[in-house]
Amino acid sequence: MYAVIRSGGKQYRVAPGQVVKLETLALEAGADVNFDEILMVADGDKISIGQPNLDKAKVVGKVVEHARGDKVTIIKFKRRKQYMKKMGHRQNYTAVEITEIKA
């Protein structure tokens, strides 16, 4: 069984027991998360697709941790002009473990 949810403007395919890295959520570690925007639920051959969301479906998760992702390096340069600028960025995220999916 799996579901497709929307969180932070992105879509994620989730299954029970899976840990997903989402955009930062304003919750403490150990708190429960109920996802409102469920786009699709699949249970074997039975597939339910929302238009745009499923009303009766429920996906529940638990916040595992808040952390920062790997560093992404950005380099800007212009050849033969003695110009180079190097920057880095680390995105904050919230790790959520999916505990149950109800169709």
Q: What is the pLDDT of residues 20-66, one digit of tens each?
A: 999 999 999 999 999 999 999 999 999 999 998 999 999 999 999 99
Cα first-last separation, the chain:
9
pLDDT tier, 11 (very low <50, low <70, confident <90, very high otherwise): very high
Structure tokens at 77: 């340069």
What is the C-alpha separation between 32 and 58, in angstroms, rounded?
13
Please, which residues have CB within 8 angstroms of residue 57's CB and are 6 or more apart in sequence? 3, 38, 41, 48, 50, 101, 102, 103
Query: What pTM does this model have?
Result: 0.84
Q: What is the pLDDT of residue 103?
A: 82
- Give 87-91's long-range contacts (Cβ < 8 A, gap of 24+): none
Q: Structural domain boundaries of the chain?
A: 2-102
Helix (H, G, I), strand (E, B) or coil at 99: strand
